[in-house]
Amino acid sequence: MKSTLDSSKKMESIKEKQVKSKQRVADHGEVFTSEREVNAMLDLVKQETERIDSRFLEPACGNGNFLVEVLHRKLDQVDKRYARSQGEWERYAIIAVSSIYGVDILEDNAQECRERLYRVFEQQYEQQFRNNCKDECKRSVRFLFKRNILWGDALDFTNPKTKEPIVFSEWSAVNGRLMKRRDYIFKFLVEKTHQFSLFNDQGDAAAIDEPVKDYPLIDYLKLGEDDK
């Protein structure tokens, strides 16, 4: 009898985590994936989840069950390889963070996903470097999650409220401490249409694989420095 009660309690807590409300399930099909399933699925592409700079985009990311695990796996690699040098650890952790993307139609999910991802980073950073952690590094990571985890409708590629197109930033590490940011319109990346309906910074027609905005190189510890 006791074990039946224990297992039904356990099931209840799993259900609690997987469903926020019946209304949300009905409106948005929101049923979160359990940790065991997340890991089983990620194991199918294990090598990619352990490659620090492999790009992951989840177009219905919920509160981040998959992305959180991807970040854990990437940061474990950063720990293994770069724990001896704080500068190297920070650089590769930033590369790991900058390659994780998500979209969700519910604003609170996108927000929760960002916060969970940030906490994973912060916990691992503080575990490694305790009082030596840099505020600038934390700010850069917060900014990257703000830019990469977006509130949006992955079917019509817009923000549900403003109807502005979803714009993702591509981040590339350039020798040493520098990062390059290029912004792309999500819809054109996915549909590969409207080839010449975009215009680049110079006012010229831009091909779909051209960015809508190209930023100057920036030190990775200065990301988000001007963000309000």
Residue in 105, 120, 166, 206 binding ligand SAM, rule: CB under 6 A: 105
Q: How far is the CB of 112 from ligand SAM (least distance, A)?
A: 10
| Residue 62 found at the interface with ligand SAM (CB under 6 A) | yes
Q: Which of residues 144-173 bind ligand SAM (CB under 6 A)?
A: 153-155
| Residue 61 found at the interface with ligand SAM (CB under 6 A) | yes
- Which of 42, 97 has the CB closer to ligand SAM? 42
Kind and range of the H or E element at 167? strand 167-174
Q: How far is the CB of 85 from ligand SAM (least distance, A)?
A: 35
Q: Which of 161, 75, 168, 167 is nearest to 125 (CA)?
A: 75
Q: How far is the CB of 64 from ligand SAM (least distance, A)?
A: 8
Stretch that binds ligand SAM, among 62-70, 161-169, 199-207, 209-217 (CB under 6 A): 62-70
180: β partners: 172
Q: Which amino acid is at 42?
A: L
| Residue 112 found at the interface with ligand SAM (CB under 6 A) | no
With beta carbons less than 8 A apart as the criterion, state whether 52 and 78 touch: yes
Q: How far is the CB of 160 from ligand SAM (least distance, A)?
A: 8
Q: Which token pair is 70?
A: 């991807």
| Residue 224 found at the interface with ligand SAM (CB under 6 A) | no
Question: Which residues 6+ apart lie within 8 Å of 70 measured at CB?
Answer: 42, 49, 56, 100
What gap in Å lies between CA 45 and CA 37, rounded to an integer?
13
With beta carbons less than 8 A apart as the criterion, state whether 212 and 165 touch: no
Q: Which token pair is 132?
A: 């030596």
Residue in 20, 42, 56, 65 binding ligand SAM, rule: CB under 6 A: 65
What gap in Å lies between CA 60 and CA 23, rounded to an integer?
17
| Residue 19 found at the interface with ligand SAM (CB under 6 A) | no
Q: How far is the CB of 70 from ligand SAM (least distance, A)?
A: 12
Stretch that binds ligand SAM, among 30-38, 124-132, 138-146, 197-205 (CB under 6 A): 30-38
The phi and psi torsions of 21 (rounded to 5 degrees) equal: -160, 155
Stretch that binds ligand SAM, among 53-61, 87-95, 205-213, 218-226 (CB under 6 A): 53-61
Q: What phi-psi label fits residue 163: left (phi over 0), alpha (psi between -120 and 50 degrees) or beta? A: left
Q: Where do contacts with ligand SAM occur on this chain (CB under 6 A)?
A: 28-33, 58, 60-62, 65-66, 103-106, 109, 153-155
